[in-house]
Amino acid sequence: MKVAAIQMVSCTRPEHNLRAAHALLTEAAQGGAELAVLPEYFCIMGRRDTDKLALQEPLGHGPIQDWLAATARELGLWLVGGTLPLALDADDPRAAEGAKCRNASLAFAPTGERVAAYDKIHLFKFDDGSRTYDEAAVLVPGATPTRFELPSRDGHRWNVGMSVCYDLRFPELYRAHAAQGADLLLVPSAFTYVTGQAHWELLLRARAVENLSGVIAAAQGGVHENGRRTWGHSMVIDPWGSVLAQRPEGPGVVLAELEPAALRARRAQLPALDHRVLG
């Protein structure tokens, strides 16, 4: 199956970001991709963390969700919409405050049907004295690992485990996916430059190797209007930990082929998933 990791440098204007994403997704589809993954915050990188609150939508309908469904249908793609801000459920006591939302990754089939919704579980916090981030100030964490099934044109039924950015540092999430049969892991992200330079590729390849799974990591990659610099290096990794393709910085499409036969062979050669004793 040919897959695409979409790298963006999203700005503060959602309409501009959607046009840019559409162009990149069109390129991916024309390149033969069956599955395309957008980065975290593909629809907005605001000047302030609270800017995303104005864009929050209820799960099921809204301009960004409608755009994702229509684009998947138009291009005939399995499409994972990096993340977008979703409103809290009406029965959530925090909903009335309107001061927090969910950071959600949504997956759509080529028919335009939404097949999965995952709320980012682990919320990033970082302070090195000059840069400070605290996603919990605006976001509410999810609690449920989420997977979906993707029947590719080659006849393989991929079991796809979802995650987002900071989740990458918590191997237990990916082990939970693998324990439920996941053979492809998605990591839409907006890694900071400093943490990405130190740990991004290392962590991605580790998640691939320890779970004998393919990995698609779609990232923000460049200097944004708000002054933030993201690491980029979107990549596709095979189950042996080899980087099949990547893009260091700037908007673009990372295309690579994931082979079900190679996946089966690696798992047969090294049945590590069957040798687990703890957890």
Tell me how far apart the alpha carbons of residues 88 and 253 are, in angstroms, rounded to a whole number.
Answer: 32
Listed in sequence order, the residues at least 6 apart from 187 whose beta carbon sits closer than 8 Å to its beta carbon are 163, 164, 165, 167, 168, 204, 207, 215, 216, 217, 218
149 is an active site residue: no
Tell me if 159 sits within 8 A of 188, measured CB to CB.
Answer: no
Residues 144-176 as b or e (16 or more Cβ within 10 Å = b): ebbbbebebeeebebbbbbbbbbbbeeeebbbe
Tell me how far apart the alpha carbons of residues 77 and 150 are, in angstroms, rounded to a whole number.
Answer: 11
Tell me how far apart the alpha carbons of residues 123 and 132 are, in angstroms, rounded to a whole number.
Answer: 13
Residue with tokens 């673009």: 252
Q: Which two tokens stand for residue 62?
A: 């809204």
43, 120, 135, 249: the active-site residue: 120
Please give the single-letter amino acid code of residue 111: T
40 is an active site residue: yes
Residue with tokens 């610099």: 229
34, 40, 135, 249: the active-site residue: 40
Tell me if 89 sits within 8 A of 95, measured CB to CB.
Answer: yes
For residue 159, give the nearest of 263, 241, 82 by alpha carbon: 263
172 is an active site residue: no
210 burial type by CB count under 10 A (0-12 exposed, 13-18 middle, 19+ buried): middle
The set of catalytic residues is: 40, 120, 165
